[in-house]
Amino acid sequence: MADGLVLASVTFHRGPLVVLDGANVRLPRGGTLVVTGANGVGKSSLLQLCAGLVSPEAGEVTMDGISLEPHSAEELVRRGIRRACVFQQGGLIANLSALDNVALPLRYHADVLGLCEPMIEERARFCLGAVGVAPSSMLAQPGMLSFGIAKRVAFARAMAIEPNLALFDDPDAGLDRENAEVVEDILKSYRDDPSITMLVATNHRALIEHLGVTAHELVGGRLVRLDRATMPPSSLV
Amino acid sequence: MQGLLQGLGRRALAGSAFWLGCLRMVVAAIRSIAAPGAAARGVIRRVTIAQIFFTGAQGLPFVTATALVVGATMMIQVHVAAPGMPGEIVGNVLVTVVLRELAPLVTAIIVASRSGTAIATEIGNMKASLEVIGLVALGIDPARFVVLPRLVAVTLSVLVLEVYFGLLALAGSLVVAAAFGTPELGAIKDGLAATLTPADLALFAVKGLGCGALVGTLACYFGLEVKSSSTEVPRMTGMAVIRCVLGCVIYNFCVTVVFYGLFADFARPM
């Protein structure tokens, strides 16, 4: 069984855009991969592909030897694959409160995760508190929250399920310094956790430097390792 | 000629893809009933109950008002257009027109315009704001969490509201008849009793469940057809309502024809 995230001869297009063209990528369990690239090059699509949210046209995406397919979302959790995805927009459920957003996956998989209702609520509140969401904001729906707080809620939801595969799309985009630091701390703790395999798509040079991980640039359907000393300024801000 | 054939071919292919997509979605939702996960089933049960409340309970005032007015209007028409019509025949007309045709169809149209639009809009917005893909990322099957509760809720709600509509429309008719004094209520009741057959129960169930399933399926399908832009939502919602209404009218017609063909007693004139 191959540990970690493996993309084997994966080809994927988003419309006319070549996101991956027969790419082979192996990210060992506990590893961190930072992906950069110009706007519109397909970083978000790559993350969705690696999360198993879309199917490749050719090749296979596996995590710890288990094929990631969109139609087997629940089966993956039962087989021990716990994914955490934070999208640029957050992807929170609009008609649920922040607390219920964080608690939803815990309630849904309570039998698999071995949780009862008091534990679910306690864990959801703990995760929201850990990212600095005030108790007064926990009962508000995402539409009532500021962008930064909503992003924190999305991170709390990702943390709550105790993921072993974490994917973050522009995690600090649009955040003020305080919120960005909260996000950086979470990413660093995931980077150092040997049980979490993490992918981060970003063009923020500061975030890449904070993470201290070699970045790869997505270009022409391939991931090209970037020398930290010669990061092309064109794609990084 | 060639262009016409190509156009017809394209439309046929698009139609097949549309119905196949609907079928695939419904099959995925029904299959998810048997999927493992006791906790997930509990969550789905709660979502379904909430959807039944939104679709069924909150739809009651509209159905009540419409049914009473439709029933009353029928009796006013009888009084004006056919003042001497015997009560037995009026009872027959109420069963054949109000109970067998208007109750299922008007109920389905009310639910389509009220809940169908709400469901298509909600799911469309969920798609546009990445909530649906977010659910998949959390290990939650959208067919189970999003489609199944709405499909069940709309189907059951249309069935129950259809019965409610039928009873209230009859009540509205009888109140107007009592106010005019003619035809006699006793004669109308005799006409109702003579026309209603056990097959009416089956007709009610087939029409209610069918129209409900049609509205639920189309509303969910068009909501999920939204790709990434919120500007697609009103377009899909509009298409959902139009297809729901058209689908229910055609379905209602087909079921009526089949039932009158199958059950000789059904078509017996007074």
Q: Comparing B82 with B111, which gets the higher pLDDT?
A: B111
8 Å CB contact between A6 and A25 = yes
Give the residue carrying structure tokens 């419409």: B66
Distance CA A146, CA A137 (A): 10
The pLDDT of residue B257 is: 92
Question: How many angstroms separate the CA atoms of A124 and A143, rounded?
Answer: 19
Partners of residue A74 in chain B, C-beta under 8 Å: 35-37, 40, 139-141, 144
Say what the pLDDT of residue A232 is: 56
Kindly report the pTM of this predicted structure: 0.89
Tell me which residue of B266, B246, B270, B220 sits closest to B25, measured CA to CA. B220
Q: In the predicted model, what is the mean pLDDT of residues A104-132?
A: 95
DSSP state, residue A95: T
Q: Cβ separation of A105 and B138 shorter than 8 Å?
A: yes
Question: Do A152 and A179 touch, CB atoms closer than 8 A?
Answer: yes
**A1-82+164-171+197-227, CATH topology level:** Rossmann fold (3.40.50)
The pLDDT assigned to A1 comes to: 46
CB contact under 8 A, B129 and A89: yes
Neighbours of A177 (CB within 10 A): 7
* Inter-chain touch A111–B125, beta carbons under 8 Å: no
By DSSP bridging, strand A165-169 and strand A83-86 are parallel
Minimum distance, in Å, between the CA of residue B242 and any CA atom of chain A:
26
The reported pLDDT for the residue numbered A103 is 97
The rounded distance, in Å, linking the Cα atoms of A127 and B194 is 67
Residue of B nearest to A77 (CA): B139
Domains of chain B, by residue range, sit at 44-267
Residue in A82, A91, A111 nearest the CB of B131? A91
Question: Across residues B224-247, what is the average pLDDT?
Answer: 94
Give me the residue spans of the domains in chain A: 1-82+164-171+197-227, 84-162
Cβ contact, residue pair A74, B138, below 8 Å: no
Residue pairs spanning A and B at CB distance below 8 A: 89
Instruction: Please compute the mean of the pLDDT values over residues A83-111 and round it to a whole number.
Output: 92
* Mean of pLDDT over chain B: 92
pLDDT greater than 70 at residue A235: no
Average pLDDT rounded to a whole number, residues B239-263: 93
Q: Is the pLDDT of residue B222 over 60?
A: yes
Closest chain A C-alpha to B128 CA, distance in angstroms: 10
Measure the CA–CA gap between A81 and A68, rounded to whole angstroms. 9
Residue B62 has pLDDT above 90, yes or no: yes
Q: Chain B contact for A229, CB < 8 A? A: no
**What pLDDT is recorded for position B24?**
95
| pLDDT at residue B28 tops 90 | yes
- Phi, psi of A7, deg, nearest 5: -110, 115
Average pLDDT score over residue span A75-94 = 88
A40: buried, middle or exposed (CB in 10 Å: 19+, 13-18, 0-12)?
A: exposed
Q: With contact defined as beta carbons under 8 Å apart, do A202 and A38 qualify?
A: no
Element (H, E) at A85: strand A83-86
- ∠ at Cα B211 (B56, B116), nearest 5°? 55
Output the pLDDT for position A229: 57
- Per-residue pLDDT, averaged over A45-64, amounts to 92
